Structure 1
Amino acid sequence: MAATRATDGPSARAMFAALQTHALAQGLALRPPPAEPTTCCGRGCNGCVWEGFADAAEYWRQEALLVLGYE
């Protein structure tokens, strides 16, 4: 089981939920996932807050997979 990398808010929420469900089924706890940005202006800025969120979500995913024993 390897949840795929999140590419936006909805896919991140789905990925977080899937991995948290697997953790609960194994009796494990994961740290809280990163919060979604609230300051995006929607202009596609270089260095958009969503890029940082995607990086943080990927770090969280990798850490969760290690805790779950998938990697």
Structure 2
Amino acid sequence: MLPLPTLPQVVDATSALALIDVLQAALRDAGHTDRMRAPPPQPTTCCGRGCNGCVWEGYFDALVFWREDALALLVEAPAPSA
């Protein structure tokens, strides 16, 4: 098993992309890219007014589930070599 990567704290769109990059690289290194679904797409409909229930809140929630799934794959045995 490869060591788990150090994950950036997600506080905005930039740090969310950094988290995705780190985890996708770790999944690639472990040979799990074909077993992991794509990360959630960033919202494109935010109005910027800080609405309660903003689309970014849903994105960050979805990203938490994606991160958990990626980490679960990373703690499994490495993918078999072809």
Fold shared, TM-score > 0.5 on shorter chain: yes
The CA RMSD over aligned residues, in Å, is 1.5
CA distance in 2, matches of 1:5, 1:61: 12
CA distance in 1, matches of 2:12, 2:60: 7
The answer to whether the 8 A contact 2:27-2:74 is kept is yes
TM-score scaled by length of structure 2:
0.78
Secondary structure of the 2:48 match is: coil
User: How many pairs are equivalent?
Assistant: 70
Q: Give the 4+ runs in structure 1 shifted more than 6 A.
A: none
Which runs of 5 or more structure 1 residues have no equivalent in the other structure?
none
| Percent identity between the two aligned chains | 47
Match of 2:31 in 1: 27
TM-score scaled by length of structure 1:
0.89
Secondary structure of the 2:37 match is: coil
Please say which structure displays the higher CA radius of gyration: 2
Deviations 1:6-56 (CA, angstroms, capped at 9, x unpaired): 221111110001001011111112210000000000000000000000000
CA distance in 2, matches of 1:8, 1:60: 16
